[in-house]
Structure 1
């Protein structure tokens, strides 16, 4: 009885360690106390050959690297530029939500491959639809809403923001999100099927709601400390 209890504790600790980095689901072999990947990593591997096990291990390492590459668990849209926006001049120049239009697509109009087994990028181009020149600086707030009504406030990357200046009509800025798709063939990990995306520009309190146009699902890491899905600061589009 004692030996079985000890193995169960070791197994539970191993599973929690995997979940903490959002690496996917695992299963425990109660007879040996070891953990094995039900999903086979992001390569969708099946079977137990040494080559497949090595590939699964490499895939899992890639997931951890992608997650560690960037995310802080800041709130949805803290005043990321409070020191800048605190001055009267910065406040008067800031782009307001109502002065911007939001359209899916990056510099080259690319769309994320939602069946890929590696990190993708989804981008929203911002255009100044007002009649004055304004600036954007910092992180947007991004909230994903699933087809079942669940919400996920994306954490921020570790990238440093820079100031973007938009003249009337300019569309040279964008919101970019690194996302970790969950291919249809991948069984085990929980999918987050995105239906809508709420975007709040830096230092604003009102948002726009965009319909998610790409289908598929992302790996549900909404409770992870360093998920592979996160938002970057406003950048050049």
Structure 2
């Protein structure tokens, strides 16, 4: 938000003072370092290995600070399910509070998705990975083990989404 405001101010001021305007990069939580040294792992939920459900399922993801400094996260990560075909980008729920992770500490978020056991064609995706981008830009990949997922990117009320980090 600060970056957008700075750009707008620079543009409003015109070329006249453009040499003194700078753009402030966004950070995960103001005044706190983003979490870069982390490991991700599956941590429960209603989803079963191999899938086979035609219901909305949940898969919890644990984030562990594997570094030696405290870091912070705010909001929901970006999650893209990938396969040989077109990927499915999951919606992000808004909100959340700042989560501070000391060395060795953990936080979690939930991936909610519509499982699929019988459809074929363009309405499903058979993911092999979940590519997670944490607030602050750290990217990690998890092997998807929950079976097929019904595509929801074009839905008015998507059934595939990611919760804020807690």
Distance 1:192 1:119, change over 3 A: same
Shift of residue 145 of structure 1?
0.5
Shift of residue 167 of structure 1?
1.0
Residue 104 of structure 1 is matched in structure 2 by 42
Counterparts of 1:89-128 in structure 2, within 5 Å, are 90-97=29-36, 99-105=37-43, 109-110=44-45, 112-113=47-48, 114-128=51-65
Shift of residue 219 of structure 1?
0.8
Q: Distance in 2 between matches of 1:140 and 1:212?
A: 16
Distance 1:168 1:162, change over 3 A: same
Which is greater in Rg? 1
Distance 1:210 1:157, change over 3 A: same
Residue 152 of structure 1 is matched in structure 2 by 88
**Greater strand content:** 2
Shift of residue 87 of structure 1?
8.8
Q: How many residues align?
A: 143
Residue 169 of structure 1 is matched in structure 2 by 104
Q: TM-score, normalised by structure 1?
A: 0.53
Equivalent of 2:142 in 210, 214, 219: 210
Q: Is the 8 A contact 1:189 1:219 kept in 2?
A: no
Q: TM-score, normalised by structure 2?
A: 0.73
Q: Distance in 2 between matches of 1:94 and 1:233?
A: 18
Q: Is the 8 A contact 1:154 1:229 kept in 2?
A: yes
Q: Is the 8 A contact 1:197 1:210 kept in 2?
A: yes
Distance 1:227 1:126, change over 3 A: same
Q: Distance in 1 between matches of 2:115 and 2:58?
A: 10
- Structure 1: gaps (5+ residues): 1-78
Residue 233 of structure 1 is matched in structure 2 by 164
RMSD, aligned CA: 2.8
Q: Distance in 2 between matches of 1:157 and 1:116?
A: 23
Distance 1:189 1:145, change over 3 A: closer
